[in-house]
Amino acid sequence: MADIAQTAPQSGPAHRRRPLPLRLVLSGTWLLVVLICAVFAPFIAPHDPLAQDLLLERLPPFWMAGSEPGYYLGTDGLGRDVLSRIIYGARIALTVAFVAATAACVIGSALGLIAGYYRGFVDQIVSRIVDIWMSFPPVLFAILLVAVIGTGLHSVILAIIVIDWIRFCRVVRAETFVQVKLDYVDSARVAGFSRLTILIREVFPNTLPTIVALLSLEMGIAVIVEAILSFVNLSISTDDPTWGGMIAEGRTIIYFAWWVLVFPLIALFLTVLAFGQFGEGLKDRFDPVLQ
């Protein structure tokens, strides 16, 4: 974009490069940190996340009396290092976020575009399916699904895709409705393009800012859903460190060792918040219509 910004004709409004909005910077930084933790967990984590040491159980975080050097955020009821488990937990959280959200996005957006653009019969079918899906409470739906198809990372991802594609479908369909009414679509038809070409080349790029914002938000949602499923013990095995699993364990010993619950909760909260803010920030920054 840089070269256009500088050579843009003077007649239009000013096009100097705007500074990146603060929320984009903050949320992007946090997400980058989480990503680095996930990818390089073995090098970053100070301890083996599975190593138990009953002599070191329920150590408090470093600033409290009774802490041990090297166990910065303390240990849990089995003497496992909380920080290391959070760092490893980022792996599962991000895997679920990327895979599940992307798949839900592709499926939902494609159906939303088609339904919103061609209307009629296709739209009828898609809309009815969406209506039916909407009548299930999503978290209960996820728990039921995983209970039926079995626990494990694959099931969690599949459950999120099956449930959350409608989120994309509804929003993209509505956005497509709006776009189709704009004159540029008529211009393209007058210029002789087929309806399919217009959908792909003219309408779809205009829905991208919305799709990207929603994708980021959905990644946050996927992180929460994974945490919830881990919390109720329906995700991967309890030994493997997941944020939801840690929160569940921490809950039982909250009065003796609050840090086991609080730190993964903070990690979860910040990550979900960052995904949402990052998406909104991207939309504001790169939607040409808003510029």
Distance of CA 105 to the CA centre of its chain: 11
Residue 19 in contact with other proteins, rule: CB under 8 A: no
Distance of CA 33 to the CA centre of its chain: 15
Only one residue has tokens 């945490």, namely 227
Residue 186 in contact with other proteins, rule: CB under 8 A: yes
Residue 285 in contact with other proteins, rule: CB under 8 A: no
Nearest Cα residue to 74 out of 56, 50, 49: 56
**8 or 20: CB nearest other proteins:** 8
Q: Are 185 and 202 in contact (CB under 8 A)?
A: yes
Only one residue has tokens 């189709």, namely 180
**74 or 112: CB nearest other proteins:** 112
Residue 191 in contact with other proteins, rule: CB under 8 A: yes
Site track 144-183 with other proteins (rule: CB under 8 A), x = hit? --------------------------------------xx
Residue 12 in contact with other proteins, rule: CB under 8 A: yes
Helix (H, G, I), strand (E, B) or coil at 18: coil
Q: Are 163 and 133 in contact (CB under 8 A)?
A: yes
Q: Which residues pair with 75 in a beta bridge?
A: 81
How far is the C-alpha of 83 from the C-alpha of 213, rounded, in Å? Answer: 30
Q: Are 202 and 188 in contact (CB under 8 A)?
A: yes
Cα distances (Å, whole numbers) of residue 151 to 92, 221, 233, 249? 14, 19, 8, 18
274: which 2 tokens?
């960052």
**4 or 140: CB nearest other proteins:** 4
Residue 23 in contact with other proteins, rule: CB under 8 A: no
Question: Which of 20-28, 190-198, 227-235, 271-279 is the region at the interface with other proteins (rule: CB under 8 A)?
Answer: 190-198
Only one residue has tokens 């510029």, namely 291
Only one residue has tokens 């980058």, namely 32
Question: Which of 74-82, 110-118, 166-174, 191-199 is the region at the interface with other proteins (rule: CB under 8 A)?
Answer: 191-199
Residue 193 in contact with other proteins, rule: CB under 8 A: yes
What type of residue sits at position 283?
A: K
**142 or 211: CB nearest other proteins:** 211
Choosing from 81, 123, 164, 202, the residue that interacts with other proteins (CB under 8 A) is: 202
3-state SS record for 194-260: CHHHHHHHHHHHHHHHHHHHHHHHHHHHHHHHHHHHHHCCCCCCCCCCCHHHHHHHHHHCCCCCCHH
Q: Are 137 and 79 in contact (CB under 8 A)?
A: no
Choosing from 119, 258, 280, 285, the residue that interacts with other proteins (CB under 8 A) is: 119
Residue 238 in contact with other proteins, rule: CB under 8 A: no
> Minimum distance between the CB of residue 210 and other proteins, rounded to whole angstroms?
12
> Minimum distance between the CB of residue 217 and other proteins, rounded to whole angstroms?
21
Choosing from 109, 176, 206, 230, the residue that interacts with other proteins (CB under 8 A) is: 206
> Minimum distance between the CB of residue 183 and other proteins, rounded to whole angstroms?
4
Question: Which of 44-52, 189-197, 221-229, 237-245 is the region at the interface with other proteins (rule: CB under 8 A)?
Answer: 189-197
**Contacts to other proteins by CB under 8 A:** 3-4, 7-9, 11-13, 15, 119, 182-184, 186-194, 202, 205-206, 208, 288-289, 291
